[in-house]
Amino acid sequence: MACLGTHVMWRVMLLTTGLLLFAAGTASGGPPGAAPPNDRPMEVHLRPPKRESTATVLTLAGIAIPFALTYLTYEPNTDNPMYAPIGGLTGLVLPAMGHWYVGRVGTYGMLMRLGGLMFAMVGLSYVDDADRCARGERVPDGCFANNRTVGHVSIGLGLATWVGSWVYDVMSARREVRGFNRRTTVQIMPMFKRDTTGIALGGAF
8 A C-beta contact, residue 96 and residue 113: no
| Tens digits of residue pLDDT in 107-141 | 899 999 999 999 999 999 999 888 888 888 887 77
Residue 169 has pLDDT above 80, yes or no: yes
- 13 pLDDT higher than 70: no
Residue 152: count of CB within 10 angstroms of its CB: 14
Angle formed by the axes of helices 108-134 and 147-183, nearest 10°: 170
pLDDT grade, residue 10 (50/70/90)? low
Judged against a pLDDT cut of 90, whether residue 9 lies above it is answered with no
pLDDT average, residue stretch 155-164: 95
Mean pLDDT, range 168-187, rounded to an integer: 90
Looking at mean pLDDT, say which of 27-41, 75-89, 91-105 comes out highest.
91-105
pTM of the model: 0.67
Phi, psi of 193 (to 5 degrees): -125, 140
